[in-house]
Amino acid sequence: MATWFPIAVIIGFAAFVVGAMVSANRILGPRRPSPVKGQAFECGNPPSGSAWARFSVRFYLIAILFLVFDVEVVLLYPWAVAIRRFGTVGLVDAGIFVAVLMVALIYAVRRGALDPD
């Protein structure tokens, strides 16, 4: 139980800080509602059409591909810094990792996932 006490203290402190900030915002924040502030915000443009418009699946596919490759690139940075400590085995592993990424990227391009259509 003694090992969990510091974690409980940190969680309690975080909850206190969040509660204090939310309360301070509600107490001290200005309240001047207006019809303009109540409108939905769409990239600075006035809203047009229904909120239930369908998006192309391609939009979600590009977003997911961006996230996957972005996370993989972030994983490569610490690997590149420590590659000398890993030696040849680390270099081969990194090469295999990048090769798998390249195969996945080529597959996505050939399937037309990144076409602007």
Name the nearest CA neighbour of 104 among 61, 55, 60, 57.
61
Domain range enclosing 41 = 5-110
What CATH number does the domain containing 10 carry? 1.20.58
Is residue 98 situated within a structural domain? yes
Is residue 115 situated within a structural domain? no
> In total, how many domains does the chain have?
1
Tens-of-pLDDT digits for all 117 residues of the chain?
788 999 999 999 999 999 999 999 999 988 888 887 877 776 766 667 776 777 777 788 888 888 888 888 888 888 888 888 988 898 898 899 889 989 988 998 898 887 876
Name the nearest CA neighbour of 97 among 67, 114, 113, 73.
73
Residue 103 has a pLDDT of: 92
Residue 42 has a pLDDT of: 67
Is residue 117 situated within a structural domain? no
Is residue 15 situated within a structural domain? yes
Is residue 40 situated within a structural domain? yes
Is residue 14 situated within a structural domain? yes
Helices (H), the chain: 5-28, 35-38, 57-81, 83-110
Residue 44 has a pLDDT of: 67
The first and second tokens of residue 56, run together, are 């192309």
